Chain A
Amino acid sequence: MSENAKLPPMPTGSFAERAVAWSKKNLFDGWFNTILTLGSIAFLLWLIPPIVEWAIVNATLSPTIEGCAEVTGACWGFVNANLRLILFGTYPFDEQWRPLLAMIVLMGIICGSLGAVKYPGLRKAIIPMWLIGVPVISILMWGGVFGLTYVQNSYWGGLPLTLILSSIGVIFAFPFGLLLALGRQSHMPAIKTVSVVYIEVIRGVPLITVLFMASVMFPLFLPDGVTIDKLLRAQIGIILFTAAYLAEVFRGGLQAVPRGQFEAGDSLALSYWQSMRLIILPQALRLVIPPTVNSFISMFKDTTLVVIIGLFDFLGTVKLALRSDPAWTKYYVEGYAFAAAIFFLICFSMAKYSAYLEKELRKGERR
């Protein structure tokens, strides 16, 4: 039997006829599905119009409190009036082109690195890009050289801070997590014990505790006059935390690679690292793309917890803006909705990229 014989006959007739046929098959197929369809339509009709009315029809962009008081819908004017505060936090106003530029550079490097899957020519450029890009970003953000005024990192905030915390988090947590996963699989008892204890201890406490310890307890144990930067402490906390979770994700991948693959490496007389790099890891990592991206997305959102140690990530600057003038405080729904939209946009892009990556790397398996 040929493949085509299984396909349903191509619908014929006018557009209206085809539409009726399609909905009969997909929407009104039996009484149960008909009820579900009608119920869903009723639910959407109940849900969507008030939201649209609030968010668009009755809303205003007017960046004044008076303008907002006049409308019954959303006051996007709050976001409009405080956009720079929300985007860049307390970074000096006249210097805000620097975090903007740093953010663009960072996004450029990230896109360049991710694009290497599609354009293999970029692969060689990834490491140089980061080696040049990170100092450029640091110089832009901190300044102090090339005539740029020095800006303490207690002034960093908003979207650049969120992006820096999460991308640096990914870059360091990934290899660290990989080493931990390999350590946990190791035959050497010392390495294995250390890895297991580390992973279990870190996984056993909430991130908020790690950040809190790093920020409140840790400085007390340092000698007098020695302080380690608050941002650095938070960044290290995030890396240590994410690495423990990634380690377990990678371990899952390593366990899914058939025994024979390890033996194949041994029989080719490859060293441990060679067989890992050439045989095991490419397969293991490909298997765990969805949970890895899942970890990244959750880490990206977890960076919002730095607000409890007085750093203003993107969500923190929204709160900062809400408190900039008590008159804005009542428009917190608009502020949080805006933050949610930006977070969704970024997380959704990550999810989409992960789906693309899976498809791209499975080409070899497709029949």
Chain B
Amino acid sequence: MKIQTILAAGAMTVAAVAAQNAQAGAVLDGIKAKGFVQCGVNTGLPGFSAANAEGKWEGIDVDVCRATAAALLGDANAVQYTPLTAAQRFTALQSGEIDILSRNTTATTTRDAKLGLTFVGINYYDGQGFLIPKALGVSSATELDGATVCVEPGTTTELNLADYFRAKGMSFEPVVIENINEATAAFFSGRCDVYTTDASGLASIRTQMAENPADYVILPEIISKEPLGPVVAQGDEQWSDVVRWAFTAMIEAEEYGVTMENVDDMKANSTNPGIQRLLGVTPGMGEALGLDEAWAYNIVKQVGNYGESYEKNVTAKLGLERGLNALWTDGGLQYAWPIR
């Protein structure tokens, strides 16, 4: 009995300390003190995060960090970027080297539960597909039995490929090439029948690397789910709330049709209560999150809504349509939790 009491008391103390730590907002306070958000990004993935000719980071992943900085600090440029490789990214987050990881990271159970991470939203729904030359005369991935497939090693792509062919009872011959330039060159020179990677990647490879893009098609089958989104470390719920709602505000702004251009007008004249809540005309949302009431206004004014960010980065750079990433009202999956 006594031991049980002590144990229970101990467990509660630990829980209380943990809760206190969580509420203490160590990350959030750190960001406020230093005055910028440290954001981990990809070392170069056009449309998601890549340096432009002036060396500035751009992309939809970068925009999530900018939106967070705009909401928390009032300035979308108060972000410092740490380019990270796939292997480094979680260590950087766990060790506190970065505050937020926005690096086309697939949300999975093990990452969420075992690595002590929190996925705060999905800013890009992707999935693995197949690119083939039209001359192959194949219209479905189910007809690919015995094909040679170019694939990059050490990625989930390689594993998904093996899973898919095994599940369908088909055989394939992998051609594993480390470097993306060499891998695509091998594909376009006819070294393999099929090239596989995420659909976003296939589309850009087809438009940018093929001599004649019309000679190549992307097969309709998407063989994996790759929900990509920003991640923070567990332990500072206040901070993960800020990131989650900063990103949500971008989608909600698109749902309401609030854009970088019309945001001032909307703030002054809109009678829609949802917009008034979003832009802080009706106060309360900022207070709830511990932010300035103009938090969402700052996001839209400085970064734009989700659709604008997508258009500017993904569509312009990769020529990709919205697809799964359209708003739910347009048949896509982007659906903002209500801000109220």
Contact = CB atoms under 8 A, between A and B. Distances in A.
Contacts of B95: 219-220, 222, 227
Contacts of A88: 55
Contacts of B96: 224-225, 227
B108 interface: no
Interface in B50-65: 50-57
Contact of A320 (B51, B87, B91, B208): B51
Contact of B54 (A85, A212, A216, A224): A85
Contacts of B148: none
Contact of A227 (B26, B57, B97, B204): B97
Most chain-A CB neighbours within 10 Å: which of B47, B55, B207?
Answer: B55
A326 B47 CA distance: 9
B259 to A, nearest CB: 25
Interface stretch (A41-49, A90-98, A295-303, A337-345): A90-98
B181 A332 contact: yes
A89 interface: yes
Given A312-B83, A326-B318, A329-B181, A90 B55 contact: yes
A277 interface: no
Interface stretch (B38-46, B132-140, B265-273, B282-290): B38-46
Q: Contact size class for A?
A: 35 or more
Given A227-B96, A326-B208, A90 B57 contact: yes
Nearest to B41: A310
Given A90-B57, A93-B55, A324-B52, A219 B85 contact: no
A347 interface: no
A82 interface: yes
B249 to A, nearest CB: 27
A219 B95 CA distance: 6
B78 to A, nearest CB: 13
Interface in A267-323: 307-312, 316, 319-323
A326 B317 contact: yes
A330 interface: yes
A84 interface: yes
B209 A84 contact: no
A162 to B, nearest CB: 16
B91 A92 contact: no
Contact of A326 (B46, B83, B85, B91): B46
B46 A325 contact: yes
The dominant DSSP class at the B interface is mixed
A216 B87 contact: yes
B20 interface: no
Contacts of B302: none
Contacts of B87: 212, 216, 308
A325 B55 contact: no
A233 B10 CA distance: 39
Nearest to B47: A326
Given A323-B46, A324-B50, A326-B208, A215 B80 contact: no
Nearest to B26: A225
B88 A309 contact: yes
The dominant DSSP class at the A interface is helix
B94 interface: yes
B43 A91 contact: no
B81 interface: yes
A82 B53 contact: yes
A152 interface: yes
Interface in B189-214: 204, 207-209
B88 A215 contact: yes
A154 interface: yes
B82 interface: yes
Given A227-B96, A332-B181, A154 B83 contact: yes
Contacts of A327: 208
A84 B43 contact: no
A85 B6 CA distance: 62
Most chain-B CB neighbours within 10 Å: which of A85, A308, A310, A330?
Answer: A310
Interface in A114-171: 152, 154-155, 157
B209 A85 contact: no
Contacts of B94: 219-220
A192 interface: no
B53 A90 contact: no
A230 interface: yes
A310 B82 contact: yes
A154 B208 CA distance: 29
Contacts of A222: 95
B83 A91 contact: no
Given A319-B43, A326-B317, 18 more contacts: A85-B55, A89-B51, A90-B83, A154-B81, A155-B55, A219-B94, A220-B94, A225-B96, A230-B82, A308-B85, A310-B83, A312-B43, A320-B43, A320-B50, A323-B44, A329-B46, A329-B208, A329-B209
* Cβ-closest 10 pairs across A and B: A323-B44, A219-B95, A90-B55, A93-B54, A326-B208, A326-B46, A310-B83, A154-B82, A227-B97, A310-B84
Interface of A: 81-82, 84-85, 88-93, 152, 154-155, 157, 212, 215-217, 219-220, 222, 224-225, 227, 230, 307-312, 316, 319-327, 329-330, 332
13 contacts: A85-B52, A92-B55, A93-B56, A154-B80, A310-B43, A310-B84, A319-B43, A320-B44, A320-B51, A323-B45, A324-B44, A325-B52, A326-B317
